[in-house]
Amino acid sequence: MLIPSYRRIYKQDYDSKDQSLVERLSYSINTAFDTVFQALNQDLSFTDNFNAITKTITLTVNASGTPSTTITIPTTTLGSAVSGILLINAVNQTNSAVYPTSAPFVSFTATSSAITITNITGLQANNSYNLTIVILGSS
């Protein structure tokens, strides 16, 4: 559902004695509501509005889910600790007819400046995948 539009504040809608004050206040109030209205009508993005990093990585895992190469991703732009990782897309590059066996789950270790992916469940072993992940910063 889209939020309904709102009625802007206009000085003409108020008594002449109040119009000067309403004119000064209306700019700030109308601008703020324009921004909130636009954001809540499908204009929010992870990139611009959330403490998160979206990244596409390529890797292969063994039968236990351990990546065949070390995958380390800098997280200094988060400005906070990492609270988790969401895997939002998994594309098999080895065989497009082979899919993950379950919802992939990413395990990682974190330092103050990077994460290292240690395990990913649900992927077919020995297949190369392009994974799009969202690294979430904590508050």
> What is the end-to-end Cα distance of the chain in Å, rounded?
28
Of 4-8, 46-50, 64-68, 135-139, give the range with the top mean pLDDT. Answer: 64-68
Question: What's at 108, amino acid-wise?
Answer: F
What's the pLDDT score for residue 104? 93
> Would you identify the CATH topology of the domain 46-137?
Immunoglobulin-like (2.60.40)
Backbone angles phi, psi at 27, to 5 degrees: -60, -50
What span, in angstroms and rounded, lies between the C-alpha atoms of 37 and 7? 11
pLDDT tens digits along 57-70: 999 999 999 999 99
Q: Give residue 9's pLDDT band: very low, low, confident or very high (50, 70, 90).
A: very high
With 90 as the cut, is the pLDDT of residue 122 above it?
yes
* Domain span(s) for CATH 2.60.40 in the chain: 46-137
Length of the chain: 139
pTM beyond 0.85: the answer is no
H helix runs in the chain, sequence order:
19-40, 46-49
What's the pLDDT score for residue 16? 94
**Cβ-based neighbours of 38, under 8 Å, separated by 6 or more:** none
Check if the beta carbon of residue 87 is closer than 8 Å to that of residue 94: no
With 80 as the cut, is the pLDDT of residue 8 above it?
yes
**Cβ-based neighbours of 31, under 8 Å, separated by 6 or more:** none
